[in-house]
C-alpha cells in the first residue's frame, strides 16, 4: 500500500452539474457531469498550497474506465461503480436519476470508486487511470487505442457461457459459491431494509397529524389547552425527525450496495479462472487427440473412430506420401500445442497466484468495511433512539401538565 497513488494524490469528486449535449445518435440528451479535483499531497507538507487540477467526467466515462480495468486486470477484484439507476428504493426516495439526492449519493459513490482504485497496489499504477484523473481531452481515444475491447468481447462471452471444467480448483469453486451467496443475501437485505424504512417513515409521519388536532382542540380548552398545544409541537418535531434519520441510513445502504456489486467483481475473477482452466483443458485435450492421430497414422492402427478413417476405408487408403505429409503437419501442430500448453499452464499458475493474493486483500478489506458499516448502523440506531427519548420525554411532560 506504500506506493499507491492515493498516498501521493488527493482525489475528490467535488460537484455535479447538469449538462445537455448530443449523444452518439445525434439526439439531444441531458446528463450529469462530475468535477474531479486532484492535488499532489507532497507539496502540502512544505507549507505551500499545491496547485489543483480539475476536469469533468460523466458516468459513461467512469464505466469505460472500469471496463478497461476489468479486462486488463482480470485477476483483480476491481472496485465497482455506484449503481447506474436507483434500485432498492423505498417510496419516498426518488428513482429518478436527475433527483438531487440521488446525484449527491452518486457523487460520493464515484469518489469512493476513484479512491478505491487509487489505493489498490496494482490498479493505482495504471496509466489510463492516471490520465482519467489528469487529462480531460483525448482520454477516450487513448483507452480505445489499447484495444482492450477485443479482449472484452470474449470476456463478455466468458461471463455468460456455461461450460464444464473437468478439474475445477476447489478454492475458486468455493469462492464463486460465496460470491453468489453474498449477492443473494445482500440484495434480500436491501429489499427488506427498504420496506422497513418505508414503514418507519409511515409511523413517524402519522404522528405529525397530532399537531394540528391538538392545536385546534386546545382552542376550546381552558386548562388543557397549553399542555395540548405544546405536546402537539413535540409531535411535529418527532414526525420531522425521520427525514434526516432515513437519509443517513441511505448511506449505510450504499455501503452494503458497494459490496453487493463487489460480489459481482469477485465472481468475474472466478469465472475468468474457470475460463482459463477450460481453455487449458481444451488445449490439453486437443494435444492428446493430435498425438493419438499421429500415432495412428504412423502405426496404421485405428484406435479411435474418425470420419476421415471411415471415408478412407470406404474410398480407399491414402498413399504413403499423403500419410507422410499428414504426419509432418501433425507433428508441427503437436510441437506448437505443447509450447502453447506450457505457456497456458504458466499463465494459469501466475493467474492463480496473483488472483489469490488480491482475493486475500479483498477479504480483509471486506471484513473491515462491513464490520465498520454494521457498527455505524448501530450508531445510527442509537442516535435515533436518543432523539425519540428526548421528544417523548418532552411530550410526556406536556401531557402530564394537561
- What is the binding site for other proteins (CB under 8 A)? 178, 181-182, 185-186, 188-189, 192-193, 195-196, 198-200, 202-203, 206-207, 209-210, 213, 216-217, 219-221, 223-224, 227, 231, 367, 370-371, 374-375, 377-379, 381-382, 385-386, 388-389, 392-393, 395-396, 399-400, 402
Q: How far is the CB of 248 from other proteins (least distance, A)?
A: 14
Closest to other proteins by CB, 200 vs 302, is 200
Which lies closer to other proteins via its Cβ, residue 78 or residue 231?
A: 231
In the β-sheet with 52-58, what is the strand arrangement from edge to edge? 9-22, 28-40, 52-58
Q: Is 241 helix (H, G, I), strand (E, B) or coil?
A: helix
Minimal distance in Å, beta carbon 179 to other proteins? 10
Distance CA 186, CA 366 (A): 13
Q: Do 85 and 77 contact (CB within 8 A), yes or no?
A: no
Q: How far apart are CA 9 and CA 15, in angstroms?
A: 18
DSSP 8-state symbol, 124: G
**What is the DSSP secondary structure assignment for residue 125, as one 8-state letter?**
G
- As measured in angstroms, the least distance from the Cβ of 115 to other proteins is 22
Q: Which one, 184 or 335, has the nearer CB to other proteins?
A: 184
C-beta contacts of 219-224 below 8 A and 24+ residues apart: 223/402, 224/402
Task: Give 21's strand partners.
Answer: 29
Taking the complex as a whole, the smallest distance from the CB of residue 361 to other proteins amounts, in Å, to 14
Residue closer to other proteins by CB (options 150, 378) is 378
Give 192 or 282: the residue with its C-beta nearer to other proteins: 192
Sheet strands (E) in 267-385? none
Q: Which is nearer to other proteins, 133 or 253 (CB)?
A: 253
CB of 400 to other proteins, least distance (A): 5
CB atoms under 10 Å from CB of 317, counted, come to 10
CB of 158 to other proteins, least distance (A): 25
Amino acid at each position: 500500500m506504500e506506493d499507491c497513488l492515493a498516498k501521493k494524490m488527493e482525489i475528490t469528486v467535488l460537484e455535479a452539474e447538469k449538462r445537455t449535449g448530443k449523444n452518439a445518435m445525434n439526439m439531444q440528451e441531458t446528463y450529469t457531469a462530475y468535477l474531479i479535483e486532484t492535488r499532489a499531497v507532497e507539496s502540502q507538507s512544505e507549507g505551500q498550497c499545491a496547485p489543483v487540477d480539475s476536469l469533468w467526467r460523466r458516468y459513461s466515462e467512469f464505466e469505460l474506465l472500469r471496463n478497461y480495468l476489468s479486462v486488463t486486470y482480470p485477476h483483480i477484484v476491481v472496485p465497482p461503480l455506484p449503481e447506474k439507476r436507483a434500485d432498492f428504493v423505498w417510496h419516498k426516495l426518488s428513482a429518478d436519476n436527475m433527483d438531487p439526492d440521488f446525484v449527491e449519493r452518486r457523487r460520493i459513490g464515484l469518489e469512493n470508486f476513484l479512491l478505491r482504485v487509487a489505493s489498490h497496489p496494482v490498479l493505482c499504477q495504471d496509466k489510463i487511470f492516471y490520465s482519467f484523473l489528469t487529462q480531460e481531452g483525448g482520454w477516450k481515444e487513448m483507452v480505445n487505442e489499447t484495444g482492450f475491447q477485443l479482449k472484452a468481447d470474449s470476456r463478455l462471452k466468458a461471463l455468460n457461457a456455461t461450460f464444464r471444467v473437468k478439474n475445477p480448483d476447489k478454492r475458486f469453486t468455493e469462492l464463486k459459491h460465496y460470491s453468489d451467496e453474498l449477492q443473494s443475501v445482500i440484495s434480500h437485505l436491501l429489499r427488506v431494509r427498504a420496506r422497513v424504512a418505508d414503514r418507519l417513515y409511515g409511523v413517524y409521519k402519522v404522528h405529525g397529524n397530532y399537531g394540528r388536532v391538538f392545536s385546534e382542540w386546545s382552542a376550546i380548552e381552558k386548562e388543557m389547552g397549553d399542555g395540548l398545544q405544546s405536546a402537539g409541537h413535540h409531535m411535529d418535531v418527532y414526525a420531522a425527525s425521520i427525514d434526516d434519520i432515513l437519509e443517513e441510513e441511505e448511506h449505510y445502504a450504499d455501503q452494503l450496495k458497494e459490496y453487493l456489486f463487489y460480489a459481482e467483481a469477485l465472481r468475474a475473477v472466478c469465472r475468468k479462472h474457470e475460463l482459463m482452466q477450460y481453455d487449458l483443458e481444451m488445449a490439453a485435450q486437443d494435444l492428446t487427440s493430435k498425438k493419438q492421430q499421429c500415432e495412428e497414422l504412423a502405426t496404421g492402427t485405428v484406435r479411435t473412430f474418425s470420419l476421415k478413417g471411415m471415408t478412407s476405408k470406404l474410398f480407399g487408403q491414402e498413399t504413403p506420401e499423403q500419410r507422410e505429409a499428414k504426419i509432418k503437419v501433425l507433428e508441427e501442430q503437436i510441437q506448437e500445442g505443447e509450447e502453447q500448453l506450457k505457456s497456458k499452464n504458466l499463465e494459469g499458475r501466475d493467474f492463480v497466484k496473483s488472483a489469490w493474493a488480491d482475493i486475500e486483500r479483498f477479504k480483509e478489506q471486506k471484513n473491515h468495511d462491513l464490520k465498520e458499516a454494521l457498527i455505524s448502523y448501530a450508531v445510527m440506531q442509537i442516535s435515533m433512539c436518543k432523539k425519540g427519548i428526548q421528544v417523548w420525554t418532552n411530550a410526556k411532560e406536556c401531557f402530564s401538565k394537561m
